[in-house]
Amino acid sequence: MNFLSPEQIMWRDSVERYVDQEIGREYIRKCDMERRHPDEAYRKIAQLGWLKLIFPEDVGGDGMNIFDYAVMVEMLSKYGFDFGVAITLPTFTAMNIALNGTPEQKQQYLPPFFAGDLRFAISISEPDAGSDAANTRTRAVLDGDHYVVNGQKMWCSGSGLKNTVILMLVRTDKTEDKRKGLSVLMIPNTTPGLTIRPLATLARRSITTNEIFLDNVAVPVAQMLGKPGEGWKIIGGEHLLLERVCAAAGYMGTAQGAVTDALKYAHQRVQFGKPIFEFQVIRHMLADMQTQVDAARLLVYRAADMAAKHMHCVKEVAMAKLFASETLQTVSRQGIQIMGGYGTLPEFDMERHFREGMQATIGGGTSQIQRTMISQEMRIR
Ligand SMILES: Cc1cc2nc3c(=O)[nH]c(=O)nc-3n(C[C@H](O)[C@H](O)[C@H](O)COP(=O)(O)OP(=O)(O)OC[C@H]3O[C@@H](n4cnc5c(N)ncnc54)[C@H](O)[C@@H]3O)c2cc1C
């Protein structure tokens, strides 16, 4: 197991400094409370060139490996997972275009994305296709030079934001194996026939999660990503791997922020004439919390390192996602307990981490699905 190299530590520290000095926890909290996208920070990050870091050099990116990227996500998420997601979700979605797009599609979409002028949302889930993601019913029927799409998608985060293109998993063919016959269409969110309705979810308040209704939506054939029938290969493979590494790094970064806040609070809060840190029950709770975050960090770094080396790492990525998401949920719940009533107030951030933690074990594949994947990869030696 490798820990961070000196260069990675410098990189991690510089991202942390940037988040502290140029973004700040109050801004991130405000975006959640006001349910508004962190537009200003997103623009600044685009200007820094951080939206193109992990893209291959031949499409104008910097060719950064996924381990270094995960280190950035850890720090971007230190004051809240949802802030990190506002940056990573469009990025790992756009990576699908870099990996599977035609030269024309790459030219059309990637430069405006790198500049911060265009965003992406990923739409896999449907009312009857949650964990069973391949049970896609939204139907795209070929009609001359375009597809006509009808159906309903669920839980599409960021799909209602300005200048957003939705990468949508649709059924182009009815086949016996439901994973076949799926394709990915790139649909600007202003396309006629689309209705996008915000959902009042517990978390994801700043980028907003939506349901989408499609009524005879016409999508040019040229807007298909990959070939007809390649949808599951695109989404089920590289996309979910990258999404889960980013998610796990973000959960772990936020969990560390929650533990740090709880520790500071325990030193400051005086009851019965002494800081509550002096009570052994509180100290032991903090010790458990930090131990769990450290374990999550090691799992995330291992998964990210293996992914960066293009090793088979389905099990390791699922372990990192599972453990980091459950860690965020556990430590934010314990953090509220340590902060008492104050922990339930938005100004103390812990309730937001708790809401994000509750969503963490569901989005991007539930904890149960991660455990299933881990067990499927386990072999008797
Ligand atoms: C805030 C939020 C944002 C989201 N953003 C996006 C997005 O941007 N794009 C997108 O496509 N989707 C998104 N999702 C959807 C998310 O990926 C799904 O919610 C998730 O995959 C689970 O599907 P489901 O909610 O339908 O639950 P279900 O699949 O119905 O699961 C219900 C319960 O049954 C369990 N279960 C189901 N199948 C099995 C099984 N085989 N074995 C054991 N247990 C099982 C689950 O673990 C869970 O506990 C988002 C969800 C939320 C809540």
How many independent structural domains does the chain possess? Answer: 3
10 band by pLDDT with thresholds 50, 70 and 90? very high
Model confidence pTM above 0.85: yes
Q: 368 CA to middle of ligand 1, Å?
A: 10
Residue 237: the pLDDT is 85
CB 41 within 8 A of CB 23: yes
**Structural domain contains residue 172:** yes
CB 200 within 8 A of CB 212: no
Mutating to test ligand 1, I would choose from 362, 370, 371 the residue with most ligand atoms within 8 A of its C-beta, which is 362
- Residue 372 sits in a domain whose CATH number is 1.20.140.10
Q: Strand pairing of 164-171 and 119-123?
A: parallel
67 band by pLDDT with thresholds 50, 70 and 90? very high
Instruction: Give the end of a domain, one of 229, 249, 269.
Output: 229
Instruction: Give the end of a domain, one of 202, 229, 256.
Output: 229
Residue 2: the pLDDT is 56
Q: How far apart are CA 186 and CA 148, in angstroms?
A: 13
Residue 381: the pLDDT is 83
CB 261 within 8 A of CB 335: yes
Q: Which domain holds residue 241?
A: 233-377
Q: Spell out which residues line ligand 1, taking CB within 6 angstroms.
A: 122-125, 130-131, 155-157, 201, 203-204, 209, 359, 362-366, 368-369, 372
The residue contributing the CA closest to ligand 1 atom 24 is 130
Give residue-wise pLDDT tens across range 161-189: 999 999 999 999 998 899 999 999 999 99
Whether residue 275 sits in one domain with residue 248 = yes
Q: 156 CA to middle of ligand 1, Å?
A: 12
Q: Strand pairing of 182-188 and 164-171?
A: antiparallel
Average pLDDT estimate for 109-115? 98
Instruction: Give the end of a domain, one of 211, 229, 247.
Output: 229
Give residue-wise pLDDT tens across range 299-327: 999 999 999 999 999 999 999 999 999 99
The residue contributing the CA closest to ligand 1 atom 35 is 368
DSSP character string of 189-242: TT-TTEEEEE---SS-TTT-EEEEEEEEEEEEGGGEESSTT-HHHHIIIIIHHH
Q: 203 CA to middle of ligand 1, Å?
A: 14
**Atom number in ligand 1 closest to CA 157:** 8
Mutating to test ligand 1, I would choose from 123, 131, 371 the residue with most ligand atoms within 8 A of its C-beta, which is 131
Whether residue 55 sits in one domain with residue 136 = no
Residue 13 has pLDDT above 90, yes or no: yes
Q: Which residues pair with 166 in a beta bridge?
A: 121, 187
Whether residue 271 sits in one domain with residue 185 = no
Whether residue 58 sits in one domain with residue 41 = yes
- Residue 47 sits in a domain whose CATH number is 1.10.540.10
Q: Which residues of 309-337 are buried (b: 16+ CB within 10 A; e: fewer)?
A: eeeebbbbbbbbbbbbbbbbbbbbbbbbe
The residue contributing the CA closest to ligand 1 atom 41 is 369
Give residue-wise pLDDT tens across range 119-160: 999 999 999 999 999 999 999 999 999 999 999 999 999 999
**Atom number in ligand 1 closest to CA 199:** 1
What tokens appear for 238 in the block? 């590289």
